[in-house]
Structure formats: C-alpha cells, structure tokens
Chains A and B, each alone.
Chain A
Amino acid sequence: METLINLSNGMLTAVDPFNLGIMLIGLTVGVVAGALPGISFVNAMAIALPFTYMMTPLSSMVFLGGIYAGGVFGGSISAILINIPGTPASLPSCWDGFPMTKRGESSRALTIAISASATGGVASALLLTFGAPPFAQFALSFGQPEFFAATVLGLVSIIAIAKSAPWVSLLSLFLGVVIGSIGVDPLYGVPRLTFGIQGLQSGINFVVVMIGLFAFCEVLEMLAKASHGSGSDGKTRFKLPSFRDFWAVKGAAARGAGIGCMIGMVPGAGATVGAVVAYGIEKQVSPHGAKFGTGIEAGLAAPEAAKNATTGAAMIPLLTLGIPGSAATAIMLAALVLHGVTPGPLLFAMQTDMVYTIFASLLLANLFMIGAGVLVARGFSSLLKVPPTVLGAFIVVMSVVGAYGVRNNLFDVYVCLFFGFIGYVMKRVNFPTPPLVLGVILGPLAERYFLTSLANYDNDMGIFLSRPISASILAFALVFVMWSLLPDAIRKMRRGLAQAA
C-alpha cells in the first residue's frame, strides 16, 4: 500500500509539464539515435549528459531514462526496415522482422515491435517499483562467475536459432569470439592476434562488425537486384499499432518480458543477452518455432519485449546498490553522482519522492514510447519508398560515418568494409552471420568475466560449478542446448534408420 501511495505521489511529480516535456524529448532523441546504425543511444546519452548539469537530479534522470527507454527500442526500426540493427540488442529483430518487411508487412512488424517493447518496458518498470529491494538482494549475490555463466547462456542460446546447422553455427560463433578477442587483453595488457598492426591493438568493435556484416551486405544485395523503381514496400502505409496485432503475440511478449526482467537484473548481461535468450526460448516453445526466421510475429515480439524489459530491471542494481550493469546505466550513475546523489539502500529511505518519481517516469516513458516510436517509425518507413540504388548509397555513407564515429578512427571504416565483403560472401554461401555477430558482442564480455573470476578465486576453474547460482545458470544453459538439439537429432537419426531399412 505504501508503495502505491509513493508511486502515485511520484506520478504527480512525473507529469509536471517540465519533467514530461524533457522525458518526451529524451524519448524522441533516444528512438532516433537508436534507429541510426553506428550512432547508438549510449552515445546520445553521453552527449546529453552535459545538458543535465543545469537540471535537478530528478529531471536529469527523467531525461536520461527517456533516452534509454527510447534508444533500446529505436534500434529495431532500422533492423526491421533495412535489416541493419541500430543497436546490438536489436539483432534478433532482424531475423523475423526483416522477412516481414520483405513480405510487405513492415507496418505490422513495426507495430508489433512497438507494442511488445512497450509491454516489456512497462513490466520492468513495475518490477522496479514493486520488487527493487528484494531483487537487489538477489542481484547482490551475483559475482563474476555468475556474470560469466549468464553470458555463456546468452552465447549458447544461438543453438536454438541455428539448430538446423549446429556445426556451422557453432563454428561461426567461435569465429566471432576469436574476432572479439583480437587486441589487448583486459587483464594483462598483452596484444593478441594483432600481427603488429597498430589499428588492431584496441580490438575490433562489435558495432563496426555489425554494420559491415549487415549494412554493406544488404546494400550489395540491393544493388545486385537493383531496379530504379520504387522500393518493395513503397505502397504500404504505416498504420497505428492495433490491439489485435498485439493480442496475437501476447504470450510471446509476456514470456519475453519475463525473461528480459530476469536477465536485466544481472549487471553486465544486458539487453542483448536478454533479447537473444528470449528469441531462443520462444523458438523452442512456440508452435511455429520451426518457421522462425521467416517472418513469424512471435519471433519478433519476444526479443522486443525482452530487450525493453531489461531497461527497468537494469536500474534495480543501479538504484539499490549503485552497480551500473551497462554503459547506459553507468551514464545514469554518473548523472546522479554529478548531482551529489549516492545510489544505494539509503537513497530509498532518504529520497523516497525522487526514487518513486523516477519509477513513475520510466513507466510513463514506456507508454509514451508507443507515440514516439510510431512517429519515428513512420518517418523511417518512408525510406522504403526511395529507389534501392539511392537508399543503398545513403546506407553506405551512414555506415561509413557510423563505423568512423565509434572511435573517430578511419581504421574502423576499413575493418567495416572488410566485414561487409566477408558478410556478402557468407550470405551467398549460406554461412550464418548472426552467431558470428553474437560471438563478437558477447565474446569479450565472457572473456573478461572468465578471467576476473579466475583472478578473484585463485585460478580455480571449479568456481563456476561450486557456486550455486553460477552452476544453476550453466546447468540451465546445458539443458537448453539439449532441449534445442536432441529432438532434431533424434528425428534425423530415425529418418536415417528408416531410409536404411
């Protein structure tokens, strides 16, 4: 009851015209930044940080929270429309979202993405409001071995996606992890696989790989089929999200939201792991699982809900323990510290009004995200009316600038071009690219958690199995692999035996 009273007080402060206004600005900025490949919402948050100096701590959190919620969703717009994930967490949205666009259902795909994202976001904001203290205690029991186990779970979830070709997919995943390990190691500072090339010392950024593999590859495909008429979806008008579209995927969205909330609480796991795991599990439980990857609504709704569900959940360790689990929450922590606010259990006791206003704002941000998402998606949808040659040229330039903008380094542009070529070859010979990208994204995280776990526990490899939570997550990962692979393997074996007979 006390929580409800605090929340309603927070809601009153959140709907103050100034707070509401900056939240809406933040949302729109976040959605646009997320939708532009290479210009991530984290960059937008970092750029926005100095603007918060002149705001109150509460307003700054509302503003940054808006960018965060909007940005996590925004990446899906470009993923669905042009097969280029604006953020790493939007990678699974390409798998079923883009095939829907190719079928001329871009509007429907976007409305499903928007409504599922809002569902996930609202669920996590409610979790943050009602469950922050107990879940914070749970999150506190996570150490480096548990973070490693959670990252491993994210990596193995690719099995569910690629079970038709497990060997090749795992090969692609390991290649991605190798690419992610290029550069100076996180613990000793020793360069690996750099071949004396200066540019490789700082490693290969996953955004650069992602832009190369998806953007350039798509442009080359576009050019191969180029006709200078209208784009494939030129006659489709963007429609507002309908309740019927959402109702059709309610189960997938609810499951995705639940998974996202659980994974979001684990510092360091983040939206990417949440989205990939949600996609993998949905593929297993959905009656249309075998058709995933061909434009199935549930395959889009689950990761969408999961990635936005991580936003509120990621703020639980931030606000209750002062632990930022991602770059975005680290910027929010910086904003709090800059204003002299120390996150932790005392924050709930000393500044209850502010805490509940942040909760209320996040709740509102996820609801208003539907409006901001529709506005930006409508603008982006018109891109599909542009002739493919013209659209392709703009994608190339945006991608080159996006790759350059990651570290203001031309070497990244060359790496991006290299991966563009590799991606095109991979696509033509049916070698799967998503596992490789996932390996590049999660591989460095897994390595860092693995090495720091060993450093903290006297190089004891058994630490991952002797700690109950980490052992449970790893056991779940193993069960997941079995669950994904065994039925197919048994079916193939039976078919083989039948043919032999």
Chain B
Amino acid sequence: MIDLYRMQRETLVRFLAPVLFIAGAIVLTGFVDENPARTAEMTRGTFGPTAWPSYMLYGVIFFAAGWLLQDVLGALWRARASRRTEAGRNTEQANRPRAGEVFELRVLIAIGVIAAYGYLIPIIGFAFATLLFFLVWFVLGGIRRPKLIGLVSVGGTLFMLYLFVKLASMPLARGEGIFAEWTIALYQFLKVF
C-alpha cells in the first residue's frame, strides 16, 4: 500500500495538475458550441465545425490521464523501491521548484503592473500609459537614481512614439476625454501626427 502521508506536498500538487486538466477539458467539451442543435442541422452527421476542437479536448483528456497514470505508477514504484533502500528515491524531485519559490512578491507585483499598463492604455492613451509604466517598472526593478529613471522613461517613450506612430503609422490608443486631447497635442508637438 502507498503511504499517502509520506508523499510530499509537491507530489500531491503534481497529481492535481493532470486531474485539473481532465476536469477542465470535460467541462469545456460542453462549451464548444453555443448552439449544438443548429450545428447538427447544418452538418447532418458529417464532420462538423465542433468536431475538431472536441476531438482535441478528448486528446487533452487522454494525455492528461496518461500523465496521471505515469505519475501514479511512478509513485507506486518509488514507494516500493524506498521500502528496500532509501537511495532509491527519485532525484527528479530535487529539481522541482519548492512551493515557496514558485511565486515571488516582486514578480507578482510586476504582473500587476503589466496588467495595469494594458488596462490603462485605452483610458489614458499609449503615450502616457507607457511613460507611467516605465517610471513604475524602473522603481520596481530597483533603480534608485531619479535622473536616470526620468531620462530613460521620457527618452524611451519618445523613441516608442517615433518608432510606432511616426515610422510604422500604427493607430495606437490615444485615450479618452482629456487624455485624447493631450495625446493629440503631444503628437503635434513631436510632429509624429
């Protein structure tokens, strides 16, 4: 019998991942098509538009199940081997990240900053959102020289505006309300508009 209490927490998490994939794929198979009756009428028993993603989801279930089976068999094998000798432990475990290493605070904040940047672009416009992003990012990255932060942020924003607005003529978001007016004024001042 496997001694579940001896299993490490990571091993349980490892078992949980394929189970989540299987459960997620099963749930998703019910959401492939918004109107299955209409699709069935349209395709009349032939290989319809929902068949491909459905089969691919079955593939996800199959390979997640294989992964789970492989891990369960592996754990069984290791449990048997460890009863014989302590040296039989799988060294692979040592290579896996410890739970505490997975997320670091700085990375979590960075994800939040990038998400906020994406959120702010349509509201305050690409130019101001980028300037703000540079300022926050450099402080977050540990740069503590205000002159350097200011110079690189402003210079970087201007470079991006010249590259994408002037040279590539990309219709980047200008923001809403007063920000749109400010962006246009900035573009006119920089002669990129």
Contacts and interface: CB of A to CB of B under 8 A. Distances in A.
A67 to B, nearest CB: 15
Interface in B68-111: 70, 77, 81, 88, 95-97, 101-104, 106-107, 110-111
Interface size class of B (residues with CB under 8 A): 35 or more
A70 interface: no
Given A174-B56, A421-B111, A193 B28 contact: yes
B150 interface: no
- Tell me the interface secondary structure of chain B in the complex: helix
B142 interface: yes
Contact of B114 (A175, A191, A216, A224): A216
Contacts of B49: 185, 187-190, 192, 451
Contacts of A394: 156
A340 interface: no
B30 to A, nearest CB: 11
Contacts of B117: 396, 400
Interface residues of A, number: 66
Contacts of A175: 21, 60
Nearest to B24: A175
B137 A167 contact: no
Interface stretch (B1-9, B32-40, B177-185): B32-40
Interface string A161-176: 0000001101100110
B106 A410 contact: no
A389 B77 contact: no
B63 A170 contact: yes
Contacts of A450: 52
20 contacts: A168-B67, A171-B18, A171-B63, A181-B52, A181-B53, A181-B56, A191-B34, A192-B32, A192-B33, A220-B111, A223-B140, A389-B143, A390-B138, A393-B134, A393-B156, A394-B156, A401-B160, A417-B115, A430-B97, A499-B81
Contacts of B31: 193, 195
Interface of B: 17-18, 21, 25, 28, 31-34, 39, 42-43, 46-50, 52-53, 56-57, 59-60, 63-64, 66-67, 70, 77, 81, 88, 95-97, 101-104, 106-107, 110-111, 114-115, 117-118, 121-122, 126, 130, 133-134, 137-138, 140-143, 152, 156, 160, 164, 168, 170-173
B173 A410 contact: yes
Contacts of A414: 118
A458 to B, nearest CB: 9
- Tell me the interface secondary structure of chain A in the complex: helix
B187 to A, nearest CB: 16
Contacts of B106: 223-224, 226
A185 to B, nearest CB: 4
Interface in A412-455: 413-414, 417, 420-421, 424-425, 428-431, 443, 447, 450-451, 454
Contacts of A220: 107, 110-111
Nearest to B28: A193
A268 interface: no
Interface of A: 39, 167-168, 170-171, 174-175, 177-178, 181-182, 185, 187-196, 216, 219-220, 223-224, 226-228, 387-390, 392-394, 396-398, 400-401, 404-405, 408, 410, 413-414, 417, 420-421, 424-425, 428-431, 443, 447, 450-451, 454, 459, 461, 496, 499
B118 A400 contact: yes
A405 B137 contact: no
Contacts of A401: 126, 160, 164, 170, 172
Nearest to A191: B34
